[in-house]
Each structure stands twice: as C-alpha cells, then as structure tokens.
Structure 1
Amino acid sequence: MSQLPPLNTLLAFEAVARRRSFALAAAELHLTASAVSHQIARLEEFLRVKLFERGTQGVRLTSAGESYLQRVAGALGAIGAATDDLRQGVRNSLYVHASPSFASLWLMPRLADFAQACPGISLFLSASPTHSDFAQGQVDIDIRYGGATSAQDLTIEPLFDEPILPLASPAFIERHRLREPSELLQTPLIQSTVSLVQWSDWLPAHGVTPLPDRYALRFDRAQLALDAAIQGLGVALESAVIAGPHLEGGRLAPVFDPAQAVVIRPHQLVYPQRLARRPEVAAFAAWLLDRARATTGIVPLSDDPDRLGAPENTTGLSAA
C-alpha cells in the first residue's frame, strides 16, 4: 500500500474544505485555528501540493484541492459509515445504489422477498440518476440505467429485456379511442428526457412523421412520466417492466398492441470484482439476477381488441 498521510491531517483538510473557514473547522474539531492551520501545512508538505488559497474573504480550494477532496471525502465517509455500523452492532451491511425509478417501482416491491431470503444482511439503499463512484468506497453494488462503461475491474450483468411502448390510463385510452400510431400526433405526449428510447425513435419506427415539435409534459424521471400518464395527462413512452405495478394494478394500459414495443436491456448490475467474494455482495447479486430472470415484461392486453392495431415496423429497431 502506498504511504498515507496522517488521518488527523485529512480530517482537518475535509473540515476546512467543507466549512471554507479555519475557525469554523477548528470549532468542529475541538481544536484551535492555529492547530488546524498546522495540520493543513503538514498535509500540503506531505503531498507537495498547495490545497488552499487564503484571502481576505476566507479560504478556497485550489484545483488540486478540489480534485483531492472528491476522492478523500468519499473515503472518509466510507470509514465513518463502517465505524458507525460496527459501534451500533450492525453486521453484514450492504450498500446498494440504484436509479430512482428502478428503485421505487421494481426493487422496492421485492425487498420483502430479499429480507426473507437473506435475513442476516443489513441493507442500505440509495437512489439517484448518477452512477456511483466505487473509488469512494461508499457503495458495494450499483444498479445502473443506460449501460455501464466496460472496465476490467468491474463485474457487469445485464438484468432483463424491457419493452418500451406507449402507455396511458384506461380512461384516457377510452376517451381518445386511439387506433393508429399516427393519431398520437393529435394527442398530448409525455416525454421522459432520460429514457434511452424517445418518441423520436418510436414514432418513425412505426411510420409516423413528421415528429412533434413540442410535448405536453416533460420529465427527467420515468416515475414522474408514469404518474402523469396515470392522471390522464397524456401518453407516456415507458418501460413495461418499470411500469409493471401500474399495469398489473390497472392504472395504466398499452395504447397499442404490445408487439409494437421497442425492446432494450438498459439496467445492469455492477460491482467491483474485488467485492465479488464478499458474502453480502454475492448473496444480493444472486438474488437480484434470479428475480431478474423471473421478470418477463409481459404486457396485459386491452379488453378492446379492435383498438389494438399493429402496423408494420419499417425500421431496424428491435420489436418485441
């Protein structure tokens, strides 16, 4: 292992960087401002890099300091979390991160099953649209949307096929009586801006041009787009897997024949290979992949077979 700076210098650095003040950092660490300044000087001497610029309006990080803080803050956070777990008697902890809509609509309904299958694991689940940085040591497993960059030190497992298709509330479908994809151009469309499949992909794939120049509503989360569709505000182009609870509960339905879906595999299980032998990581990965294999993405059909049209798919996009 490479030589590490003294821990107390790193704590002082993180506190000053966060507080932007030697005096406030000193009060937090129960030290004098002079002692904190001395710790920073020791760290800068150890690194041979200047970390702060000192001025009349306080202190600010140099570019080198900003870069160092991004790595160090995560490592200190991981040490703090591990310490808290141990002090509070928490054993076999597992930190999982997932994209928000996947976490709330697919993973959460299955967590009771995981708790029953692995009762000895203490699970911490977080959700955000950004991929986790494993170098910071704060996450063991990341469930990513949009693909993972191939890396020799990562295990990457695709989860399941997801049919992407127009979805709306049954009342909306009944009211608008949509029979052909071209009729969507006269209908309020909901755009999910982060989706890998956009209306600009699906509509031409079903012979619809020109594309709409605006959308009734736009969201940066699949769950929000689905909620808007449930409220009857328009048609959402979303994953039948992520929308599964709403489809099963009758809150949403496919606007057209599910055979018109574009099929992708956007969610992936990702974790560092160095963690593969951790019992908690191995158990969660095995459980997740098993549940993923049981996920079919089958879409319930409408009660009105006359409404469901299936025009020829004239593009190279994959259909269900």
Structure 2
Amino acid sequence: MRTSLPPLPALLAFEAVARRRSFALAATELHLTASAISHQVARLEEFLGARLFERSSRGVEMTEAGAKYLQRVSGALQALTAASDDVRQGVRNTLYVHSTPSFASLWLMPRLGHFSQAHPGVSLYLSASHQHSDFALGQVDLDIRYGVPNWPGLTVRPLFEEHILPLASPAFMERYRLREPAELLSAPLIQSTVSVVQWADWLTAQGVEQPVERFALRFDRAQLALDAAVQGLGVALESSTIAAGHLEAGRLRPLFDVGRHLAVQAHFLVYPPRHEQRHEVAQFLRWLQAQAQAPQAGPGDGTGGT
C-alpha cells in the first residue's frame, strides 16, 4: 500500500477552500460543517508538514506552499473526476488533448469536425491554457505547446513552419497607408507578449534599428492581438497560419509584401513516448500531422493558410 498519498477527503476540502477562499463556502459545497472542513485541512497540513492557509481579517489566503500545492493537485483531481465520469457514463476510447488557447481556438477547432467524422469512436476532451500539462499527473495524453522546445524526456514533434508578419485590417491600411517598415514606428502597434517573435526581431530583420517606444495595446495571447487588429486598433505581428481564418475572410491583410516575414517553428506536439502506444493517441497524431502538412496557401493570395 502506498503511504505517500494524502487522504482524499482532506484533499477535496483543501481544493474547495482554495477555490472558494472561504471555509464556510467550502463547507456548503461539500455538505459539511465549517468545523469539519477546518479539521480536514489541518489533517492535510499535518500530513504535509506545511501550512497551506493563513486566516486574516480579509478572509482566507493561501500560503506560498498552498498555492504551489494547489497547482499540482487541482489537475490530478480533475483527471480523477473525468476518468470516473467516463466509467459511470460508459464512455470508452477517450482522448485527452491540451493546447495553447489561441491554437485551440483559431487552428484546431475549425478542423475538429473532420477528426470526429474520421474517428467517430474516439471521445475527445480538449482543454486549453498557457500552462504546460504535467504528464506525471495523468492529466492528458497529448500537449500542443508553443515556444522554444526544451522538454527533456518527452517526444517533441514540430507541427509546421509559420510565417510571422505584420497584419492589419483593410480599414486600418486605408487610413494609415504605410509603405515602409520604418513607418510602423509612428503607427499603433499591437504586442503579443508570449510570441517567440517580437516587433524588435521583425524590425531588425527589415533594417530598422530604432526601438519601438511604446505599444498601443499589449496582450498575452495571439487571439486577442488578432481580434484587436481586426477591429482596426493597430498592427499585429502574428502567424499567417494561425490568422488564416481572418485572412481568408478578408478581415486582415499582410501590411507589406509577404516576403517580409520571419519563418519559425513554434508549435509542437509533446507527449511521453509510451503514450503513442495507445490506439486513440496514434490516430490523433496521424490525423493532426496530416492536417499540419496539408498544402497551405500563401498569404500573398489573401488566404494566409489552410
């Protein structure tokens, strides 16, 4: 018997208090008394040898140890809940995929109907966040990550090459009539703070050494940056692959000649090697890579992608 596992009632009490920031509200949710919740949390703190909460006049605050513990535990509890629901509902062949939010919304979602038609026996569960999945918790089968690959011990497969270039709405282009990259320094620029290619990288590649003094808008994901550009609020420096839907619909256009782009590989399929042995995982891998390798129209013809 594994003695390193904490008692489940204590874990549930801790998670509820952390989420609701209240012992009373956690007690109501779990149909217990506040005293019972307090007892369970104390039991867990004794088990861990660490204090998880601090009570003050402002309410309940998590300690640093509590916040770090919640980050690890909440995913494990979600995985347990999902697995239990699947068994109760008779769901088989479930596939758990995690992705970055913008990729999930702008690239993956428009294609999922095709996967469902091709593999009707697979029940797909998709979650999205910037935080990478912890495979040790058994949360997901596959993770679609964005960034510079440095994930030892995992299989890492690049999905496609992307072209990063300035994109703007037709109305914005008509209003500002920018002709050269240097003119961008006097135009409202939109920054995606998580992008592997920043404005300084692109401008330097175009021979513009002067730094950007300020950004009109800053966002922590590509989807919001693209939405702002569609509304004519500025110029977004984004992937023509991820922005394909906006480009196809004419909501966005490349600001300059499409040869003025930076090519990167920034989206990756990541998973433990053993996961590929699952039939559902292998099916999704083959399908996703076929989608990623399908011929893509260049942004010069107004499509910007598949």
Same fold by TM (over 0.5)? yes
Instruction: Indicate yes or no: 2:144 matched with 1:137.
Output: no
What is the match of residue 82 of structure 2? 81
> Aligned equivalents of 2:59 and 2:230: distance in 1?
51
| Other-structure match for 1:124 | 125
Distance 1:300 1:10, change over 3 A: same
**Separation of aligned partners in 1, 2:6 and 2:189:** 56
Q: Give the aligned residue type for 1:149.
A: N
Instruction: Please give the TM-score of this superposition, normalised by the length of structure 1.
Output: 0.80
Quickly say closer, same or farther: Cα 1:184–1:32, change in 2 above 3 A. closer
Give the 3 Å change call, closer, same or farther, for CA 164–16 of structure 1 in structure 2. closer
Matches within 5 A, 1:32-181: 39=40, 43=44, 47=48, 64-152=65-153, 154-181=154-181
Letter matched to residue 77 of structure 1: Q
2:205 aligned residue: 205
User: Which is worse superposed, 172-181 or 158-167?
Assistant: 172-181
* Counterpart residue identity of residue 141, structure 1: L
Residue 72 to residue 178, structure 1, CA distance change in 2 (3 Å): closer
8 Å Cα contact 1:165/1:261 also seen in 2 = yes
Are the structure 2 counterparts of residues 88 and 284 from structure 1 closer, same or farther at C-alpha, using a change threshold of 3 Å? same
User: Separation in 1 of the partners of 2:21 and 2:216?
Assistant: 44
Structure 1 residues 218 and 292 mapped into 2: Cα distance closer, same or farther (>3 Å)? Answer: same
Deviation at 1:146, TM superposition (A): 1.1
* 3-state SS of 1:70 partner: helix
SS at match of 1:296: coil
Query: Is 2:302 aligned against 1:299?
Result: no
For 1:263, the equivalent position in structure 2 comes to 263
- How many Å separate the matches in 1 of 2:86 and 2:157? 29
Cα separation, 1, equivalents of 2:169 and 2:21: 51
CA distance change for structure 1 residues 20 and 187 in 2, over 3 Å: closer, same or farther? closer
**Could you tell me how far 1:217 is from its partner in structure 2?**
2.9
Match of 1:290 in 2: 290
Partner of 2:244: 244
- Distance in 1 between the 2:133 and 2:239 partners? 23
Task: Note the C-alpha offset of 1:245.
Answer: 1.4
1:81-111 Cα offsets, whole Å, 9 max, x none, are 1111221232222222222221111111111
In structure 1, the partner of 2:217 is 217
Between stretches 132-141 and 278-287, larger displacement belongs to: 132-141
Q: 1:58 to 1:295 in 2, by over 3 A?
A: same
Quickly say closer, same or farther: Cα 1:164–1:14, change in 2 above 3 A.
Answer: closer
Return the letter of the residue paired with 1:228: A
Q: Given the superposition, is the C-alpha separation of residues 258 and 19 from structure 1 closer, same or farther in structure 2, using an over 3 Å criterion? A: closer
Unmatched tracts of structure 2, length 5 or more: none
CA separation of 1:32/1:211 partners in 2, compared to 1, >3 Å: closer, same or farther? closer
Q: Structure 1 CA distance, aligned partners of 2:22 and 2:235? A: 51
| Structure 1 residues 33 and 103: alpha-carbon distance in aligned structure 2, compared to 1, 3 A threshold | closer
Moved more, 27-36 or 235-244: 27-36
Retained in 1: the 8 A contact 2:148–2:196? no
Report the Cα offset of residue 35 of structure 1: 5.5
| Most deviating of 120-129 and 65-74 | 65-74
Contact 1:168 1:254 in 2 (8 A): yes
Q: Where do 1:3-22 residues align within 5 Å?
A: 3=3, 4-18=5-19
Cα 1:230/1:64, change in 2 over 3 Å? closer
Letter in 2 for 1:259: G
Query: What is the identity, as a one-letter code, of the residue corresponding to 2:120?
Result: P
SS in 2 for 1:260: coil
CA distance in 1: counterparts of 2:17 and 2:125, whole angstroms = 29
Give the match's secondary structure for 2:299. Answer: coil
Q: Partners in 1 of 2:16 and 2:272 — Cα distance?
A: 29
* 1:158 maps to amino acid: P
**1-side partners of 2:163 and 2:123: how far apart?**
33
Partner residue of 1:306? none
RMSD across aligned positions (CA)? 3.0
Alignment TM-score, normalising by the size of structure 2: 0.83
Q: Give the counterpart letter for 1:104 in structure 2.
A: S
- CA offset at residue 283 of structure 1? 1.6
Alignment partners' CA distance in 2, 1:36 and 1:173: 59
| 1:10 CA drift (Å) | 3.4
Unpaired stretches in structure 1, ≥5 consecutive residues: 303-320
Shift of the 297–101 alpha-carbon distance from structure 1 to 2, 3 Å rule, reads farther
Q: Is contact 2:257-2:300 (8 Å) kept?
A: no
Distance in 2 separating the partners of 1:25 and 1:227: 38
Shift of 1:22: 5.8
